[in-house]
Structure 1
Amino acid sequence: MPIFVLILVSAVALIAGLSVFFLRYLTEGRRLRAARAAVVLFDVLGVGAMLFLFASHRTEGWAGMLALPIFLGYVAQIIALLLTMLAVLVRAAGRRLRGVPYSPARRRVLKCAALYPAAGALLGSYGAFIERTATVRRDYRIPIRNLPPEADGLVIAQISDVHLGAFFSVEELDALLTETAAGGADLLAVTGDLFDAEHLNEAAAAVLEAHVGDFPRGIWYCIGNHEYYRRNALPIVTQMARRGHVHVLLNAAERVPGCGALYLAGTDYPFARGDAFDTEKAAF
């Protein structure tokens, strides 16, 4: 955690410093001072809020509503900063090619300066509200030596790190599973960090079980670290394992039906939080 904090604080400090410097190319006078103060205030409060959310593992409710504008603000700031830096470099290169001598008295503000922060906000919003919900499918053909002939051509779909909560709903999970099944997968592997919102976890488990029949070789599941962070996640996983509709693998392996001697293995996540970590560490 200290290394992560150092990296995060250093990155935000670099972004803030560059933003404060390059703002002089977007405005001047009182507006420049106000813009610099606003950027510094946002970056300081933003990094403080992010550190609190990460330390407390909060993603639900008000925490998610707080995290979204912070991330959006940082992304917009970075995009605007990069565009401004590029414009300044292009202008400087153009003046050098034309042989225009440097003059400190020359106006520094770029033309159409308002477009740079506007572009940052627009592109950041596109990523946050549109591209974030886009599904990307990547297909890989994996040759396996001595694969049982019954398993030849088996199509396995993998979904991981859905992180239910402010940024991904149960309805979106349902749509994702429907889309995945329609893509022709024989088996679905869900590899952890699914149950990440206490008020949504039970509904998510029901949705997962409802789609078992869509995959001829079933749905297989192992946990991630975030299942340790939500109080009701592990009990829900245990209940799901007892019902037996979803194949839950916790430090276990199970033969895939109809695929000969093909087994799938799933591990527990060995980095629990708090006292649970000490217990696991002693066990290892």
Structure 2
Amino acid sequence: MRIYILIGILVLGMALFGTMTGYWVTLFRNSSKRKGLIYGGVLGLALAVGTIVLQRLMYSIHGGMMMDLVRPVLIGLNGLVVALFSTFAVLTIFGVFYGLMRLGARSDSGDSHIDESRRNFFKRTAVVVPAVVGVTGSVAAFQGNGELQLRKIQLALKDRPEVLKGYKIGQLSDVHIGPFIGMDKLKEMVDAIASEHPNRLVITGDLIDDLGYLDEVADYLDSRVQDFPDGIDYILGNHEYRVDVERVWKRLHQTKMHMYRNSHQQILGGPRPVYLVGMDYHFKDDVQEENVRLLDKAMKGMPDNAYPILLAHHPNYIPEAFRRHIPLTLSGHTHGGQINLWGMNLVPVYKPYWKGLYEEQGLFAYVSRGSGHWFPVRLNCAREVTVFTVL
């Protein structure tokens, strides 16, 4: 039921954005308002319905020529959806100024018409803004889906045990295997990390969106465990719950990957043994209280001199990790906001920990921008895989 409500909101919202965008364009160009409202509404509806239909179609096909044909069309449509919303926002700002100018002209001369030069400026705006924003949205969609950055980060961890010196950890997060991210992209990600020869690979949740790929993903990751001397570690994210968390967990548990669900495992020995602590995802309203409870559960039984490294899909674990003096926390979930302009993210994300490396009194936390995505549009926020080297 919830998904149909969301679809209805999307369709109505896009129709509204399209209608208002059409109104602004015809207002600025001094043409038929009625046609602008109709054409804009139809455009918004077409983008919404086309995106929904194609996205549902992508869940029924896996690979082959049909996938190769549909995926770029769907990516382009998503870019145009963002472009329409952005065009509406920009033209609305210009519309406010247009209205103020007309009011000013009326107060000065009693005539609400603005002078020729200003009228020509708004006519050009009605053409230039949709064109520029439309191209930008489409480019951002295709570039965001295609670009993958390998980030290499060196960490001087606080009170590091000698056994961790030179240790390398690769991170994948928010892969979202499904309509936009296929097996070819997963192979690209794993190959990029493996090229740096890390000791282990950790996957911090949201691995899969389409269960049609589950067996293929499980078999592939199982075959790649051998490429990482200390194996592959996996925790759940919220999208595993959206599809079928128990089915995902059961199938991946059949692989040689190390699985964590509010649990821990010793990964290195020595006078101060190193432990990996992996968290399950939860949906409790009292987030921090539940985080405390689950961390207590996950770390129960660890020796007092343990040196923990925390894997948590959501960065809302970071405050409690810092409070407990956990030297390193790896997370994801936010996708880095995906659309970043002028140093700001335009998509609501968890604050203050939403992208990149954070340090507090010698303790570190890292929030991945995501190795994939369920929505392909990215601007100044490329997909990433990360390799950490402990100094």
Tell me if both proteins adopt one fold, taking TM over 0.5 as the criterion: yes
- Give the superposition deviation at 1:90: 10
- Give the superposition deviation at 1:229: 2.7
Counterpart residue identity of residue 251, structure 1? N
The answer to whether residue 78 in structure 2 is matched with residue 71 in structure 1 is: yes
- Give the superposition deviation at 1:48: 8.4
Larger RCO of the pair (alpha carbons < 8 Å, separation 6+): 2
Q: Provide closer, same or farther for how the CA distance between residues 122 and 19 of structure 1 changes in structure 2, counting only shifts above 3 A.
A: same
Determine if contact 1:80/1:119 at 8 Å carries over to the other structure.
Answer: no
Counterpart residue identity of residue 19, structure 1? T
Mapping of residues 1-284 of structure 1, within 5 Å: 15=17, 19-24=21-26, 27-30=29-32, 32-43=33-44, 60-61=59-60, 68=75, 71-81=78-88, 103-104=113-114, 106=116, 107-108=119-120, 109-111=122-124, 113-231=126-244, 234-243=246-255, 245-257=256-268, 261-271=273-283
Distance 1:131 1:69 in 2: 11
Distance 1:196 1:166 in 2: 8
Q: Which is worse superposed, 39-48 or 164-173?
A: 39-48
Q: Deviations over 1:110-147 (max 9, x none)?
A: 23854432222221111112232211344444443333
Which consecutive unaligned segments of at least 5 residues does structure 1 have?
Answer: 93-100, 273-283
Distance 1:241 1:67 in 2: 33
Instruction: Point out the structure with the larger helix share.
Output: 1
- Give the superposition deviation at 1:206: 1.5
- Give the superposition deviation at 1:172: 0.9
Distance 2:59 2:47 in 1: 18
Q: Name 2:304's counterpart in structure 1.
A: none
Aligned to 2:264, what secondary structure does the other structure show? strand
Aligned to 2:265, what secondary structure does the other structure show? strand
Aligned to 2:180, what secondary structure does the other structure show? coil
Q: Percent identity?
A: 23
- Give the superposition deviation at 1:207: 1.6
- Give the superposition deviation at 1:210: 1.9
Distance 2:269 2:192 in 1: 24
Determine if contact 1:84/1:116 at 8 Å carries over to the other structure.
Answer: yes
Distance 2:223 2:269 in 1: 21
- Give the superposition deviation at 1:235: 3.2
Counterpart residue identity of residue 279, structure 2? T
- Give the superposition deviation at 1:220: 0.5
Counterpart residue identity of residue 246, structure 1? M
Counterpart residue identity of residue 253, structure 1? H
Distance 2:228 2:28 in 1: 55
Distance 1:256 1:58 in 2: 43
Determine if contact 1:205/1:236 at 8 Å carries over to the other structure.
Answer: no
Give the TM-score normalised by the residue count of structure 2: 0.53
Which consecutive unaligned segments of at least 5 residues does structure 2 have?
Answer: 62-69, 100-108, 285-296, 298-391
Instruction: Point out the structure with the larger strand share.
Output: 2
Kindly tell me the number of residue pairs found equivalent between the two proteins: 262
Determine if contact 2:15/2:42 at 8 Å carries over to the other structure.
Answer: no
